[in-house]
Amino acid sequence: MVVLALVAGGIGLLVDGVEGLVSGLLGVVLAMLFLGITALSILIANRWFGDPLYVQLFFAIVLGGWLLKLGLFVVIMIVLSGQPWVSPMVFFLSIVTGVVATLVIDVIVITKMRLPNVSDASLPTQAPTDHAPGIQLPTVVPEDRAPGRHDLIPESRDEEGSAEDAPRS
């Protein structure tokens, strides 16, 4: 970010004089501020690591940081919109360049991270049995019964059953 501030300030100075220098430096400082708010919110949220509500707290705090950044951005843009000492194009380009630089840094950090491929969970050595309590399942389900309906017993018919009850072919 220091290198980006020097480059943005130098280009701003060449393009629009002192206003360009201030605008370039201000844009990079705002990008650094917003990056810092994100990092700070993650550090604060990680204080609850191990808590049963950690995931919910983490995302609530990070989302709160994003909402804070959005509100700050709107307020800063309203305050700086009519200032005569701000060069709008240099300011805009320095903010965009700062945001892109932070995104590039994020991508580099994430791609270089070393994450374990397996966790510390142990796998069972034998498949657990899965039976409902009190129900004895047959080992072979007859083919004439629908899957999942093996617990139903067909009604017994009397010897002289009607033709409607007779098996169809």
Nearest C-alpha neighbor of 96 from the set 73, 66, 62: 73
Distances (CA, A) of 55 to 36, 60, 61, 106, 162: 21, 8, 10, 21, 65
| CB-based contact 87:26 (threshold 8 Å) | no
The pTM score is 0.59
Three-state SS at 149:
coil
pLDDT tens string, the chain, 169 residues long: the values are 889 889 998 999 999 889 999 999 999 999 889 888 988 998 999 898 888 888 899 999 999 999 999 999 999 989 988 888 888 899 999 999 988 988 888 788 878 877 666 666 676 666 556 666 666 665 655 555 555 555 555 555 555 555 555 565 5
Distance of CA 61 to the CA centre of its chain: 13
Nearest C-alpha neighbor of 91 from the set 105, 78, 77, 104: 77
Q: Could you give the CA distance from residue 26 to residue 9 in angstroms, rounded to a whole number?
A: 9
Burial class (CB in 10 A: 0-12, 13-18, 19+), 94: buried
